[in-house]
Amino acid sequence: MTLWDHSDISSLILPFKRVDRDSLIDAEENPLNLFNGIRELLQELKKKRIIVALATWNKPEQVVEAIRLLEIEQFFKFVEAEFHPNKHLLVRNILCKLSKEGIKVKPSEVLYVDDQKRHLKDIYGTVGKVVFLQMWNDVKNPHEISAYIQQNRYSKENSSLKYLCQKK
């Protein structure tokens, strides 16, 4: 859960209703809130022309509706949402789509941010050794992701890092 505070968006009931800029509720009034700083991070990455994609083990209907209502869909080049635990296949799909568009990305150019390490072995085995940050462990908030990218000089001027934003 690196975008929002709800631990299982797939359990939320459609339709969703937007409450404010960074919040929505489901049909049973269960809340979902973007984490503080997520919108700003996404805006910064877009400004730096860093590609952002979402790979999530959740029901696509809920994910797509949440990012639409929260008006953050424009920040994601691709959204790979499937209700199975095989994130390595989702990351591979993203890299294949980029390749079809003529954007070649080496595993070392991918920053993979997730709140769990459980998918990392399969991702390494399928797409190679990506750069990994564990949310809430290696970084505590979106600002620290931004600082990591800046510190490691991942910007349009000096790197072709492609940022894959992760959601459980």
Q: Which domains does the chain have, with CATH numbers?
A: 9-167 (3.40.50.1000)
pLDDT at 152: 86
Query: What is the residue whose two structure tokens read 């459609």?
Result: 14
pLDDT at 153: 64
Measured in whole angstroms, the distance separating CA 153 from the mean position of its chain's CA atoms is 20
Q: Tokens at residue 54, please?
A: 């979402």
pLDDT at 160: 38
- CA 133 – CA 130 distance, rounded (Å): 10
pLDDT at 154: 54
By the 10 Å C-beta count (0-12 exposed, 13-18 middle, 19+ buried), 37 is classed as middle
The residues of the chain scoring below 70 in pLDDT are 1, 153-168
HSE-CB for 47 with a 13 A CA cutoff:
7
Counting residues of the chain whose pLDDT is more than 90, the rounded percentage is 88
